[in-house]
Amino acid sequence: MAFTPPSFPSRIHELSPEEQSVYRQLDSARMPQHIAIIMDGNGRWAGKRALKRFLGHQKGAESVQYVVETASRINLPWLTLYAFSLENNLRRPKAEVSFLMKLLKSYLIGNVKRMNDNNVRMAYIGRTHDLPQEVQDTMQWAMESTAKNTGTTLTLALNYGARTEIVDAVRSILTNLATEAHTRGCSIDDLLGAGALESLDEASIARALYTREMPDPDLVIRTSGEQRISNFLLWQIAYSEIFITDRLWPDFRGIHLLEAIQAYQRRERRFGGLGENLTDENLSTLEPADEVAEEIKDHLLPESESRSESKADHALPRR
């Protein structure tokens, strides 16, 4: 699915002087269209200061405000934040989960005006129907209150897990298939025989994911230094660039978002192909594959196999 980024009036002048200094070094033609962030380190931030974890989460919510505002000022079309995972819901202490739900509700109520002022539109992905009803109501209110905005789409991943997302996508596809079979008055086997199986491809699965309305992330940022994906957008980040910073999320600000974009622009995205600097002329200098295989054969095979293969070669009749 092709996504055409909309154009908006420039708000670069609203960046801080430090942010403007970094922004001026960026190539406006190579800006990412979608950035996804794994916001990690709230608990460690609090622990380093001998504070309760709740205060770390509270400080992390402030970082969200700063980063979203910077994203909106540089006209980033899509920003997705990993706010609350399915595993958080199942494995964290109930008191902490309850606090996070209250913090989410408070954040939405307190920032809708700010989002409208910054032309930010709210969206959500995840099994949000399992969240407390009062939280769902507030989420719906915030989404409706910002629905007419045309700037950055801020998507919160809530009660989210990437494997669960794929399971839900498969369930949706199977449900639609069963519905179509019922409508046509035939069996699912009949539909499969009529080409339904062959028509199932990457694009049809992507259309069944939570993220069907947005492009895949160009850049994934993870704070706190952890080098793992943590079950986040596994399908969508197949070719995303990954930027890891040791900075804990409560200390992450808009300028750090711009620095991550700066690092992203220094990379060459290949999507499984060849780099721009590798030409046909370069390829012509490569040694033939069969010659390379012969040279390294003895290094790849166990010594006994190498000897036996060598004997077999000598036993072949000459022509």
Calculate the alpha carbon distances from 192 to 180, 188, 197 in Å.
Answer: 11, 6, 5
**Other beta carbons within 10 Å of 283:** 9
Question: Taking a C-beta distance cutoff of 8 angstroms, is the pair 204, 187 a contact?
Answer: no
119 is catalytic: no
277 is catalytic: no
Spatial separation of the C-alpha atoms in residues 19 and 16, rounded to whole Å: 5
88, 116, 168, 251: which is the annotated catalytic residue?
88
27, 40, 130, 216: which is the annotated catalytic residue?
40
Question: Taking a C-beta distance cutoff of 8 angstroms, is the pair 244, 225 a contact?
Answer: yes
Spatial separation of the C-alpha atoms in residues 101 and 248, rounded to whole Å: 21
Catalytic residues: 40, 88
